[in-house]
């Protein structure tokens, strides 16, 4: 009987160790509102998968030698540098034919945060947001003043032309055609342009971090800011609950303070990560084409990736290095 008990304890301990080793340490998304599956060619789908995997590997590498903030920044920088996603290089254009970039980042250990909005000359908005968090007394900076501060801190400025992507420009031209003959107040925004990128990470010390970066919505009014740079709406992280990054119809994510609501449900009601994320997204107003999606991660390595759109570009990597990426599955 004693031998059986000892065997059971050894097996149980091994199972627990294996489970802990394989916990999720990094989750990313490349935006909800993916195009219908039939319109995505095998080549383009493969390119999206490759970009997501590259971002996960970059974040994982940063986790190995740094912390959760490093992982979030590294992963998002890869997505910002790709013209496939609506952030950084692939940002969409507003009604004036300009790009206005927004981003935020938050440290779950200290609850420090940084955010930028309305910038067009900083190559990686997520790095600018982190610079605001670490090198200024502020949380949120916008426009030219933000760019000037980052430049003075040594960050390189680029020409706004750097961000030009052919697909984003064609999307703008198509949106303008649809708007012809309509009142500007009645122009319908295409749900497929909900693209945003984000990441949440858990490091070896048990500290969480979250970040989000976006180019906004095609043909949106100049000066509009969505949820991505707003702490508690599009981004939130605290070690007591979870880290969250959102993507979707930003106005609703702002009004319903989606990211912080998920954390509060876990901290004060004891909801699981799965229940909190599912319930909060389900509680948003319903839109044709869906409202959006989000990713989240807790200190136990539990991950959530939920959306109510046609698809969401997303991926995870575990502590053992196992990668999973998906769009429609």
Backbone Cα Rg of the chain: 20
Lowest mean pLDDT, pick from 8-22, 205-219, 266-280: 8-22
Lowest mean pLDDT, pick from 25-34, 41-50, 183-192: 183-192
Q: What is the pLDDT of residue 90?
A: 93
> Which residues fall within 8 angstroms of residue 224, CB to CB, at 6 or more apart?
94, 100, 216, 217
186 has a pLDDT exceeding 50: no
Distance (Å, whole) CA 277 – CA 303? 10
Q: What is the pLDDT of residue 16?
A: 46
Confidence of residue 182 (pLDDT cuts 50, 70, 90): low
Distance (Å, whole) CA 248 – CA 320? 31
Distance (Å, whole) CA 208 – CA 245? 12
Is the pLDDT higher at 3 or at 80?
80
Q: What is the pLDDT of residue 194?
A: 61
Q: What percent of the chain has pLDDT over 90?
A: 82
Q: What is the pLDDT of residue 35?
A: 84
Annotate 22-32 with b (16+ C-beta within 10 A) or e (fewer).
Answer: ebbbbbbbbbb
Question: What is the DSSP track for 43-107?
Answer: HHHHHHHHHHHHHHHHHHHHHHHS-HHHHHHHHHHHHHT-TTSSSGGG----TTS---EEEEEEE
The residue from 24, 196, 218, 235 that is catalytic is 196
Number of H helices, E strands in the chain: 9, 12
3-class DSSP state for residue 142?
Answer: strand
Q: What is the pLDDT of residue 317?
A: 98
pTM of the predicted protein model = 0.91
On average, the pLDDT of the chain sits at 91
CA angle (259, 263, 268) in 5-degree steps: 145
- The pLDDT tens digits of the residues spanning 298-329 come to 999 999 999 999 999 999 999 999 999 999 98
Distance (Å, whole) CA 250 – CA 195? 11
Candidates 112, 63, 52; CA nearest to 312 is: 52
Distance (Å, whole) CA 318 – CA 255? 33
Distance (Å, whole) CA 134 – CA 226? 23
Half-sphere exposure (Cβ direction) of 127: Cα atoms closer than 13 Å: 19
Task: Return the biggest CA–CA distance within the chain.
Answer: 83
3-class DSSP state for residue 19?
Answer: helix
Distance (Å, whole) CA 101 – CA 228? 10
110 is catalytic: no
- The pLDDT tens digits of the residues spanning 205-230 come to 999 999 999 999 999 999 999 999 99
Residue range 24-326 forms a domain whose CATH class is alpha beta
Lowest mean pLDDT, pick from 31-40, 127-136, 233-242, 261-270: 31-40
3-class DSSP state for residue 14?
Answer: helix
- The pLDDT tens digits of the residues spanning 108-153 come to 999 999 999 999 999 999 999 999 999 999 999 999 999 999 999 9
Confidence of residue 193 (pLDDT cuts 50, 70, 90): very low
49 has a pLDDT exceeding 60: yes
Is the pLDDT higher at 2 or at 74?
74
Q: Is 239 left (phi over 0), alpha (psi -120 to 50) or beta?
A: alpha
């Amino acid at each position: 009987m004693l031998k059986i008990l000892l065997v059971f304890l050894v097996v149980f301990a091994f199972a627990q160790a294996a489970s802990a080793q394989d916990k999720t340490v990094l989750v990313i998304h490349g935006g909800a509102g993916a195009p219908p599956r039939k319109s995505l060619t095998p080549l383009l789908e493969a390119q999206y998968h490759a970009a997501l995997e590259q971002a996960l590997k970059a974040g994982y590498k940063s986790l190995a030698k740094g912390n959760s903030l490093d992982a979030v920044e590294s992963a998002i920088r890869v997505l910002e540098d790709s013209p496939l996603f609506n952030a950084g290089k692939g940002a969409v254009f507003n009604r004036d034919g300009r790009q206005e970039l927004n981003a935020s980042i938050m440290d779950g250990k200290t609850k420090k945060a940084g955010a930028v909005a309305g910038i067009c000359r900083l190559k990686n908005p997520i790095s600018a947001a982190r610079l605001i968090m670490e090198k200024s007394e502020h949380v949120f900076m916008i426009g030219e003043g933000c760019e000037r501060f980052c430049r003075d801190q040594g960050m390189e400025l680029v020409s706004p032309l750097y961000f030009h992507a052919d697909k984003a420009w064609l999307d703008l031209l198509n949106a303008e055609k649809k708007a012809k003959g309509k009142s500007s107040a009645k122009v319908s925004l295409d749900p497929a342009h909900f693209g945003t990128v984000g990441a949440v990470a858990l490091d070896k010390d048990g500290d969480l971090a979250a970040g989000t970066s976006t180019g906004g919505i095609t043909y949106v009014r100049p000066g509009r800011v969505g949820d991505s740079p707003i702490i508690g709406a599009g981004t939130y992280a605290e070690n007591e609950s979870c880290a969250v990054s959102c993507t979707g119809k930003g106005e609703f994510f702002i009004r319903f303070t989606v990211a912080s609501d998920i954390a509060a449900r876990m901290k004060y009601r004891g909801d699981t990560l799965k229940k909190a994320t599912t319930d909060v997204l389900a509680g948003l107003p319903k839109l044709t084409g869906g409202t959006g999606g989000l990713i989240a991660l807790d200190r136990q390595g539990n991950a959530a990736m939920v959306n109510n759109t046609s698809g969401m570009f997303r991926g995870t990597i575990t502590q053992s290095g196992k990668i999973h990426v998906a769009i429609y599955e």
